[in-house]
Amino acid sequence: MELLVKSLPLLARGAATTLYLSAAAIVFATALGLVLALLQLFGGLILRALVEAYLYVVRGVPLLVLLFAMYYALPYADIQIEPVTGGIVVIGLYFGAFMTEVFRAAVLSVPKGQWEAARTLGLTTPRILLDVVFVQALRVAGPPYINTCIMVVKGTSLVSIIGLADVTFIGKQIVERTLAPFEIFGAVAFVYFVICFALSRLGRHLEWRLNYVP
Amino acid sequence: MSIDLSFLTRVAPTLAEGLSTTILLAVPAILLSATWGIVVVMGLLSRFRVVADIARGYVEVVRNTPVLVQMFFIFFGSGFAGYPLSGFTAGLLALVLQNGAYMAEIYRGGIRGVSHRLAEAGLALGLTPRRSFGLIVLPIAIRNVIPPLSNQGVLIIKDTSLVATISVAELTFQARLLADRTAAVFEIFFTLALFYLVLTAIFSGCMRLLERRLRLA
Amino acid sequence: MSPDVSVGSPGSAEIEIRGLSKWFGDHKVLKGVSTDVKRGEALVVIGPSGSGKTTLLRCINLLEDFQEGEIRIGGEAIGYTVDPNGKRMRRGEAEIARLRAKLGMVFQSFNLFPHMSVLRNVAFGPVRALGMPRKEAEERAAALLARVGLADKVDAMPSRLSGGQQQRVAIARALAMQPKAMLFDEVTSALDPELVAEVLDVMRQLMQEGMTMVIVTHEMAFAQAFAHRALFMAEGEIVEQGEPARLFRDPQSTRLQAFLKRFKQGYQL
HEC profile of chain B: CHHHHHHHHHHHHHHHHHHHHHHHHHHHHHHHHHHHHHHHHHHHCCCCHHHHHHHHHHHHHHHCCCHHHHHHHHHHHHHHCCCCCCHHHHHHHHHHHHHHHHHHHHHHHHHHHCCHHHHHHHHHCCCCHHHHHHHHHHHHHHHHHHHHHHHHHHHHHHHHHHHHHHCCCCHHHHHHHHHHHCCCHHHHHHHHHHHHHHHHHHHHHHHHHHHHHCCCC
- B177 and chain A in contact, CB less than 8 A: no
Provide the domain count of chain C.
1
Sorted by where each begins, the domain ranges of chain B are: 2-213
A134-186 pLDDT tens trace:
988 988 898 899 999 999 999 999 999 998 999 999 999 999 888 888 989 99
Question: Average pLDDT, stretch B37-62?
Answer: 93
The confidence score (pLDDT) of residue A155 equals 96
CA B111/CA C220 separation, integer angstroms = 45
- Is C54's pLDDT higher than 90? yes
Tell me what the mean pLDDT of segment B93-115 comes to: 92
Name the packing angle between helices B87-113 and B49-63 (round to 10°).
120
The H or E element that residue A177 is part of is helix A167-178
Quick one: pLDDT at residue C1? 40
B168-211 pLDDT tens trace = 889 999 888 888 888 778 888 888 999 999 999 999 999 988 88
Chain A residue nearest residue B64, CA to CA: A193
Of B187, A128, B139, B73, the closest CA to residue C129 belongs to: A128
Report percent pLDDT > 90 for chain C. 51
Q: Is it the case that residue A17 has pLDDT exceeding 90?
A: yes
- Among the partner-chain residues C109, C129, C159, the one whose CB lies closest to the CB of A122 is C129
Average the pLDDT over C67-83 and give the result: 84
Contact A70, B193 (CB under 8 A): no
Record: contact A168-B66, CB cut-off 8 A:
yes
Per CB-CB distance under 8 Å, the chain A contacts of B90 are none
pLDDT at residue A206 in the model: 87
Range(s) of the domain holding residue A151: 2-211
Is it the case that residue C85 has pLDDT exceeding 80?
A: no
| Confidence band of C9 (pLDDT split at 50, 70, 90) | low
Which residues of chain B does A179 touch, with a Cβ-Cβ cutoff of 8 Å?
80
Q: In which element (H, E) is residue C239 found? A: strand C237-242
Residues of chain A found within 8 Å of residue B193, distances taken between Cβ atoms: 57, 60-61, 65, 69
Instruction: Label residue B130 by pLDDT band (50, 70, 90).
Output: confident
Nearest Cα neighbor of A195 from A140, A144, A155, A138 is: A155
Q: What is the pLDDT of residues C149-204, one digit of tens each?
A: 999 999 999 999 999 999 999 999 999 999 999 999 999 998 998 999 999 999 99
B2-213 belongs to which CATH class? mainly alpha
pLDDT for A33: 96
How many separate domains does chain A show? 1
Q: What was the pLDDT predicted at B64?
A: 95
Domain assignment present for C191: no
Whether C170 is in a domain gets the answer no
In the predicted structure, residue C4 carries a pLDDT above the cut 50: no
- The answer to whether the predicted template modeling score (pTM) of the entire model surpasses 0.95 is no
- pLDDT (mean) for C27-44: 92
Q: What is the CATH number of the domain that holds C52?
A: 3.40.50.300
Domain range enclosing C73: 1-102+209-269
C120 touches chain A (CB under 8 A): no
Please, which residues bridge with residue C233 across strands? Answer: C238
Residues in chain C closer than 8 A to A120 (CB atoms): 61, 63, 100, 103-105, 174
Instruction: Report the pLDDT value the prediction gives residue A210, as an integer from 0 to 100.
Output: 79
**Residue C258 clears pLDDT 90, i.e. is over it:** no
CB A117 within 8 A of CB C107: yes
Instruction: Kindly tell me the burial class for residue B181, based on how many C-beta atoms sit within 10 Å of its own C-beta (0-12, 13-18, 19 or more).
Output: exposed
A21-43: average pLDDT: 95
Confidence of residue A194 (pLDDT cuts 50, 70, 90): very high
Put simply, the answer to whether C93 touches A125 (Cβ < 8 Å) is yes
d(CA B58, CA B6): 50
Is B touching C (3+ C-beta pairs, cut-off 8 A)?
no
Which chains lie within 8 Å of chain C at 3 or more CB pairs, if any? A
pLDDT given for residue B14 in this prediction: 80
Nearest Cα of chain B lies from the Cα of A66 at a distance, in angstroms, of 8
Pick from B14-23, B64-73, B105-114, C73-82 the range whose average pLDDT is largest: B64-73
Closest CA to B208 of B156, B151, B141: B151
Lowest mean pLDDT among B27-41, B121-135, C19-33: B121-135
Report, as an integer, the average pLDDT of B69-83.
91
What pLDDT, on a 0 to 100 scale, did the predictor assign at position C2? Answer: 41
CATH (domain of A169): 1.10.3720.10
Asked if C166 has any chain A CB less than 8 Å from its own CB, the reply is no
Position B1 pLDDT exceeds 70: no
Interchain CB distance below 8 Å, C157 and A214:
yes
Whole-number Å distance between alpha carbons of C124 and C164: 21
Question: Which residue of chain A is at minimal alpha-carbon distance from B203?
Answer: A60
Over residues A60-110, the pLDDT tens digits come to: 999 999 999 898 887 776 777 788 999 999 999 999 999 999 999 999 999
Q: Is residue C135, in this structure, part of any structural domain at all? A: no
CB of C182 closer than 8 Å to CB of C212: yes
Contact C53, C30 (CB under 8 A): no
All residues at 6 or more sequence positions from C238 whose CB lies less than 8 Å from its CB, including other chains: C1, C2, C33, C34, C35, C231, C232
Note which residues in 77-96 of chain C have CB less than 8 A from chain A.
93-94
Q: Which residues of A touch C128 (CB under 8 A)?
A: 121, 123, 127, 131
C130 touches chain A (CB under 8 A): yes
pLDDT confidence tier of residue B123, bands split at 50, 70 and 90: confident
Facing residue for A60 by CB, picked from B160, B179, B200? B200
- Which chain A residues are within 8 Å of C190, Cβ to Cβ? none
Contact state of A121 with C157 under an 8 Å Cβ cutoff: no
